[in-house]
Structure formats: C-alpha cells, structure tokens
Amino acid sequence: EIDGGNATDFVVPKHESGPHVIMVVGVNGVGKTTTIGKLANQFKNQGLHVVLGAADTFRAAAIDQLQVWADRTDVPLVKQ
C-alpha cells in the first residue's frame, strides 16, 4: 500500500517557484527507497510534477527498487 503508515505530511511551500530537490541519505535498510516512493506519491497527489533520480552507486538493486516505486506512482525515473 502506497499511502499506509503514520507518516507526517511533507508540504512544499506554494509561494516558492522552480524545482525543489530533496536528497535522501541514510544507512542500509532503513527504508529510504520506500520513503521516496511514498513522498513521490504524496507530492503527485498534491498536484506537483515529480521526477525521481537514481543515484545509488553502491547497491545496483536499489535502482531496480526505485523503478518499482516510479512505476507504482506513475512518475519518471532518471537513471543510467
């Protein structure tokens, strides 16, 4: 479920223009990719345009996992 859990809403200020970049860092296994997917879904539901960027240089499967979330939330993923 994409919207499950007791997460606090993260709101991007409406008065600011231009792109907003959110960088997520943390140790392995703490739910970074899942959180990114949930944020992408939340922002899209707020009417924002969302693009995910895969930047994990350590764990190759992380890009595949992020692709799953991009597909679930119907947002583009930039990867190489």
Domain ranges of the chain: 1-80
Name the CATH code of domain 1-80 (choices 3.40.50.1820, 3.40.50.300, 3.30.70.20, 3.20.20.80): 3.40.50.300
Encoding tokens for residue 70?
């991009």
Stated pTM of the model: 0.78
Query: How far is 43 from 2, CA to CA, in rounded Å?
Result: 12
pLDDT in tens, 52-70: 999 887 877 889 999 999 9
Contact between residue 42 and residue 9 where contact means Cβ atoms under 8 Å apart: yes
- Predicted confidence at residue 59, as pLDDT, reads 79
Query: How far is 4 from 47, CA to CA, in rounded Å?
Result: 20
